[in-house]
Each structure stands twice: as C-alpha cells, then as structure tokens.
Amino acid sequence: MAPLTATAGPCGISDGDAAVGIAAAVDADCLYGGLGCFSDHCRFCKVKETPESTAFLGCNDFNATTIITDGTPTTPAPTLAATTDGACSLVVSEGDAAVGIKIVSDASCSSGGVGCIDDACRFCRATTTVQSAAFTDCSTIAGATVAQPSTQPPTEAPTETPIELPTEAPSADGTCLQVAALGDIKVGIVIVTDTSCATGGIGCISDVCRYCRLVYTQQSAAFTDCGMIVDADASTKTPTVITITTEAPTEAPTKSPSDQPVCTQVVSPGDASVGINIVTDATCVNGGLGCIDTVCRFCKTLDTPQSTTYPDCTSIAGYSTGAVIATEAPTDAPTEAPTDAPTETPTITASTSGACTQVVSEGDASVGISIFTDTSCANGGVGCIDDVCRFCKVKSTDQSAAFVDCPSI
C-alpha cells in the first residue's frame, strides 16, 4: 500500500473565525486526521481564548511552518448562490437540538469556518453544553435565520427524501467500516456507527459514521460521549464477535492461562480520564510494571502526571484500534458483573468481606511491589486494580517507583 502524501495549497480561514481567535496552521500531521483538521495539511488552532476557540489547541502547540491569522474576505461568489435561493434548507436533528445546537443560514460559509456544513448552512450554539461548546453563538452570526421546514412547503419533500433514503439503505448494511487514526485513538477519539448521521451532527463523517469521545481529553472534549450514541453498541458488535471468546474464558484465565487468556478487567473512569488504560499482556505472567495479574496490564494512552510511569499502550503486542473500540462492548457485561460483586459485598456485609483478596505475583513481589486493601479505589487512582485493591511500594525500585508506600501493619 502506497504511503499517504499530503496535498499542497493555502489554509484559509474566514473573517468570522479570525475575529474570535481562531487561526489555521499548516500541519503535516493532519494527513492522519485529528481535532481541528479540515484537510490533509490544514488544522484550526486558537491564537486567543474565546468561547468559540476553546475546543481547539493553541497554535503554539504545533510544530507548524505557517500560521494564518488573517481572515479571507467574503468573495462575490456567495452572491451568485444567494440570488438563486441563498437560504439554508437543512434542519437540525433532534439529538443535536437537544444539546443546544442549531443550523442557521450564513452566507460567509462560502469561505469556510467552524460549523459550516456547505456554502449557506452553519451549525451554531443556541445553549452552551459540552457538545455545543465548539460552535459560534447563534446570536453573533449576522443575519442568521433558522431553517424552518414548515414555512417552505417544498422543503418538506426534500428533507424527508434524504432522511428516509439514507436511513433505510444503511439498515440493510448500516455498519460504519471506517476506523479512527492511531493519533485520534491515543487522545480518546474513536469512530462508531450512528445512523442519525443521515441528518448531520457533530463528529459525523458520513451517513453512518461518527467521531465520539471514548476517553475525556482536551482533544476529545468537543465530541459526544460514545456511550450516549444509540447505535454505538451496534457498530461495536462486529469486534465483539472477535472478542466473544473473552466471555467464555473469563472464569478460567487464571486457572488455565494456556488457552490464550484475555484480560476482562475494565479501566475505571478516573484512570481513563488521566490517560490510563488496561490491556491484555501475556508477558505479565512474569510480572512487570503495570501488571495487575497474569494477563492484565495498565498502560498509557496519553502522557499525564498519573500515567507517565506506565508503558505506552501501542508498544504492547496485540494492542490495536480494534482492541480499543472493542472495550466499549465488553464494558456493558464485565463492568456490571465484576462491579456488582465488589459493590454489593461492601454495602451489604462490609464487615465480612470488604477486604482485597488479590495476591501479588512473584514477579511483582521481587521488585518491591505489593497489594493492599484501599476502599478509596472506588474513585480510581494510580495503582488501583478494582474498587478495593491497590498496588503499593514495599521498597524503591524502577518498577515500584510510581506506587504509594505500602501501609505498615
């Protein structure tokens, strides 16, 4: 397969974007996608902090050769388009409307800009929510008018036709086949199936594919949480078939590790938010930094003070985009099964079995690592294995340095 090659050409921004602190940087990393990328070599970035620019990274954060801060004046081109109709006929989906997003007519979209769908339609923020934060306030868009399908009889026919055709066609084979770039996955962004994309929305790439937030990071903040997308479970059922074997051996991986054991532990929301993930690593049978048991290992998806001591997830054999996406499907089963057991036990009979029953491996013990009971692990934290068990440091070694000191007994 031939390597990807970036195209050449100017990276322009509109006057409206420039006025709210948004610039464009020439960034070769956009060849593989990422937040703010609007071509294979151009990326939106912010030169000053405003409500409209807050979702983007600072321009100084990029190793960019060129940064464009001056907006391109509106050309006479939209005037020609405006003479024929000029008004946006697209209607916002119910899901986007529920999170404060509207679609309005904006002729300046002929020069592009954040939220522009075509030459006349722009997403804007009616109320401030996590999902709408990246868009321009609707009240600041000059001459903005919300598309009303009821005011123009002809719009009812076209809006129903494109809505029904895409939703019925994908229903036969309505699964998104696109896979997120490795760079996006590392910052918590994945691609899932969402048939509501037939009517557009934040993160929609096609009629059935949508970017969503798997782990909360600065780059993924503008996208919808993957768990809130109705079709997300359906789109992950394909990788689930691959990982269905994980449900059969879940009771036996520790008893018979020879049957290709797979880690069924799921990272806590607290650890996930600071760039820590849990992956399958058969080498944990010999212990090592981040190993929870003989098949599960903590690793980092991005650099934070909490994750810095763990190995990069991509350096662990078997880690892939499929593995990251597939964690969504199993989370419904494993998170309810394992968490029901530990959470019921402390609440009902905390006095009898609120203690950690996990035993440190010989490999970890040999490098000064132990395990102790810590109920604060219910909120996550460095070294937490589940709700009550935490790795700790008996003696200082390279492998134990990241953990807290073990309590004296």
Q: Is the pLDDT of residue 406 over 90?
A: yes
Separation of CA 274 from chain center? 13
Q: 209: which strand partners?
A: 193
Q: 324: which strand partners?
A: none
Q: Is the pLDDT of residue 380 over 70?
A: yes
DSSP 218: T
Chain-wide mean pLDDT for the chain? 74
Distance CA 287, CA 366 (A): 9
- With CA atoms as reference, report the closest residue to 335 among 293, 376, 387, 377: 387
Distance CA 75, CA 108 (A): 9
Q: Find the mean pLDDT for residues 191-215.
A: 88
- With CA atoms as reference, report the closest residue to 402 among 270, 315, 304: 304
Alpha helices (H) in 153-222, listed in sequence order? 153-173, 182-186
- What the block records as the tokens of 6 is 């970036």
Confidence band of 347 (pLDDT split at 50, 70, 90): very low
**CA distance to 121, 203, 214, per residue, from 200 (Å):** 12, 9, 20
Q: 312: which strand partners?
A: 300
- What the block records as the tokens of 250 is 């879940």
- With CA atoms as reference, report the closest residue to 274 among 383, 392, 131, 406: 383
Q: 68: which strand partners?
A: 24
User: Residue 65 contacts by C-beta under 8 Å, 6 or more apart in sequence?
Assistant: 26
Confidence band of 104 (pLDDT split at 50, 70, 90): very high
pLDDT score for 2: 58
Q: 189: which strand partners?
A: 213
DSSP 291: B
Distance CA 210, CA 201 (A): 8
pLDDT score for 334: 41
Buried b (16+ CB within 10 A) or exposed e, 329-355: bbeeebeeebeeebeebbeeeeeeeee
Q: Is the pLDDT of residue 336 over 50?
A: no
| Better pLDDT: 238 or 149 | 149
Residue 330's SS3 state is: helix
Q: Is the pLDDT of residue 346 over 50?
A: no
Distance CA 15, CA 140 (A): 13
Full-model pTM: 0.25
Confidence band of 260 (pLDDT split at 50, 70, 90): low
**30-73 pLDDT, tens digit each:** 877 778 888 788 889 999 999 888 888 888 887 777 888 887 65
As a whole number of Å, the CA-based R_g of the chain is 25
User: Please, is 258 exposed, middle or buried when counting C-beta atoms within 10 Å of its C-beta (0-12, 13-18, 19+)?
Assistant: exposed
**131-176 pLDDT, tens digit each:** 888 888 999 987 766 655 444 444 444 444 333 333 333 334 688 9
DSSP 2: P
Tally the residues of the chain.
409
Q: Please state the domain extents for the chain.
A: 15-68, 77-147, 173-234, 236-409
Q: Which helix or strand (DSSP H or E) is residue 122 part of?
A: strand 121-125
The CB density around residue 180, as the number of other CB atoms within 10 Å, is 23
